[in-house]
Amino acid sequence: MKNVLITGATSGIGLKIAEVLERNNKVFLSGRRKLDKKNYFSCDLSDSLSCIDLVTKAREYFNSEIDILINCAGQYIYKPIEKMTKEEIDYLLNLNFKSAYILSSLVVDGMKKNNWGRIINIGSISGMVGEANATLYSATKAALGGLTKSLALEAAQNNITINQINPGWVKTPLVDNSLTEEEKKEVIDVTPQGRFIEPIEIAKLCEYLISDSAKGLTGQNINLCAGLSIGC
């Protein structure tokens, strides 16, 4: 049984990852919602100090180091680049990229001491192929991909793997409620497999990536996107 810290775990992808991994692991969760759970810490990870507080709380809960970190917290803003405000720019950079960088830096030392660890970053296909009117979101997810590859090299000799999953359109309540039926049809039309990714697919891939069966897989950006990254 491993100690797993999952950010952005109160809904959608993060929630499904938590549900799958807690079957065989000890899990500590974080999100922005207020929940009364012993294994949960409510915080805004766009604030660097909250990242430090989160790791402290998780270690107290486990009474040990963190074995597995899954950086799932993130935000999407769809807006032309000239319309982005300074506040939005700072927020997305801090939440989507800086928080993952800081959290990784805080947990990797313990992983090196234990000579075992796993970090999984949840990126986006937008960071791999680009997305008009989501330039900053795409840029933060692309930066996350760079972090994944570079940190994988740093940690490779310590039995630590770092990988990134880049989902395409995922069937979550947020997407369900934010897209019209016509927009959903457009998404399906441009996706080679003609469907949305289910959150369980991402959760099961996480389950594989933290297993010893995947110990040779590190520094990889895995596009779980129903073919969206290869064209339509």
Distance CA 124, CA 46 (A): 18
Amino acid identity of residue 66, one-letter, is: I
Contact between 227 and 193 under an 8 Å Cβ cutoff? The reply is: yes
Give the chain's end-to-end CA distance (angstroms, integer): 42
Helix, strand or coil, per DSSP, at residue 37: coil
E-state strands within the chain: 3-6, 26-31, 40-42, 68-71, 117-122, 160-167, 221-224
Annotated active-site residue 137? The verdict is yes
Catalytic residue among 40, 101, 137, 208: 137
List beta partners, residue 30. Answer: 41
Return the active site residues.
137
